[in-house]
Structure 1
Amino acid sequence: MNSDAAVIRRAGSADAPNAADVWLRSYRAALPTVQCAHSDAEVRTWFSDVLVPQYETWVAVTGSGVVGVMVLHGEEMKQLFLDPSWRGQGLGDQFMALAKQQRPDGLTLRTFQVNTAAQRFFERHGFIAAERTDGQRNDEQEPDVHYIWQPQN
Structure 2
Amino acid sequence: MTRALIRPAAAEDAAAIAHVHVTSREATMPYLPPRRRTDEQVVAWVRDIVLPGAAVWVAETDGAVVGYAAVADGVLDALYLLPGVRRQGIGTLLLRQAQAHCPAGLSLFVFQKNTGARAFYAHHGFTVADTNDGSRNMEREPDMTMRWEPVTNGTRTDG
Equivalence for 2:105:
106
Instruction: Check if 1:17 corresponds to 2:46.
Output: no
Unpaired runs of at least 5, structure 2 = 153-159
Equivalence for 1:67:
66
TM-score, normalised via structure 1 length: 0.93
Aligned-partner residue type, residue 79 of structure 1: A
CA distance in 2, matches of 1:121, 1:7: 20
CA RMSD of aligned residues (A): 1.4
Secondary structure class of the residue paired with 1:66: strand
Please tell me whether the aligned partners of residues 22 and 81 of structure 1 are also in contact (alpha carbons under 8 angstroms). yes
TM-score, normalised via structure 2 length: 0.90
Secondary structure class of the residue paired with 2:32: coil
Secondary structure class of the residue paired with 1:151: coil
Equivalence for 2:31:
33
Equivalence for 1:96:
95
Unpaired runs of at least 5, structure 1 = none
Secondary structure class of the residue paired with 1:58: strand
Deviations 1:48-86 (A, max 9, x none): 111112211110112251100100001100000001001
Secondary structure class of the residue paired with 1:117: helix
CA distance in 2, matches of 1:136, 1:37: 19
CA distance in 1, matches of 2:34, 2:53: 22
Alpha-carbon deviation of 1:151? 0.7
Secondary structure class of the residue paired with 2:59: strand
User: In the superposition, relative to structure 1, how do residues 136 and 92 fare at CA in structure 2: closer, same or farther (>3 Å)?
Assistant: same
Q: % of aligned pairs identical?
A: 36
Number of paired residues?
151
Secondary structure class of the residue paired with 1:32: coil
Equivalence for 1:142:
141
